[in-house]
Amino acid sequence: MVKVIDAHAHLEELDDLESALKRAREAGVVAVVAVGSDYSSNKEILEISSSYTDYVYPALGLHPWELSQDYEKVLEQIEAHADSIVAIGEVGLDYRISTSRELQKKAFREVARLASKLDKTLIVHARDAWRDAFKIVAEENVSKAIFHWFSGPLDLLDELREKHYFISVTPAVLYQKKHIRAVERYPIELIVIESDAPVSYRGKVSEPADTLLSLKGLASLKKLSLEETAKTVFNNTVRLYGLRGLEYEED
């Protein structure tokens, strides 16, 4: 059985977390990075990670969908828990929503600055805002970033690669053309895989075990074995998040 790490899941949104994590373990998922979106979900993520020590690793976020004028308290929350989190995310920009772009960019710049200050990996959501998100991350000298579910312009990938920024692969790699093209072009050494649970892919609600679908799609595009692909992205994820004590052990 191959071993994988789910690099991005919204565990607090799962209906039956215990059962979902049991299925994940059985599928070969050896760790999950749980991402928050706002003050309340961040609090839930911290509670979940304390209940599943050495399996669930917390990341605290400020998602554009949940953004409000009093977002500073979320930044304070993130900084207060800096020693116990593996990343800052999910954060970013989303130009399909009605929230003011200026407010989004202001908040994102502040959270990117915080990631730089704390030397934390930044997990970036950038729907229809890829160039602006990259510009802010680069200008704030963020050293480690993941552009989540990358489906943006292909020429931007060259700039991401120059900065050694990562992209993440979701189960959409099995059918979404923009995502497929990006994954085909980007080096596997700068890729991690995720479920983004509980997002629905073609009508099926996902859970962490579906990280294996991301693995299969990635292996197919790269024309590599599942084992080789799994080992590479596993080590990428451990290094990027600083997940001490996790090693790829072959059965």
Looking at residue 19, which CATH number applies to its domain? 3.20.20.140
| Euclidean distance between CA atoms 7 and 196, whole angstroms | 8
Rg of the chain over Cα atoms, rounded to whole angstroms, equals 17
The count of domains in the chain is 1
Which pLDDT score is estimated for 251?
A: 67
Quick: pLDDT tens for 144-166: 999 999 999 999 999 999 999 99
Domain presence at residue 117: yes
Quick: pLDDT tens for 80-112: 999 999 999 999 999 999 999 999 999 999 999
Strand duo 204-205 + 200-201: pairing: antiparallel
| Euclidean distance between CA atoms 1 and 163, whole angstroms | 34
The answer to whether the pTM exceeds 0.95 is yes
- Please give the residue range of the domain that contains residue 50: 4-241
* Closest C-alpha to 8, from 183, 125, 110: 125
| Euclidean distance between CA atoms 98 and 126, whole angstroms | 15
Domain presence at residue 157: yes
Domain presence at residue 43: yes
Distance in Å from the first CA to the final CA of the chain? 7
Domain presence at residue 104: yes
Domain presence at residue 250: no
Domain presence at residue 115: yes
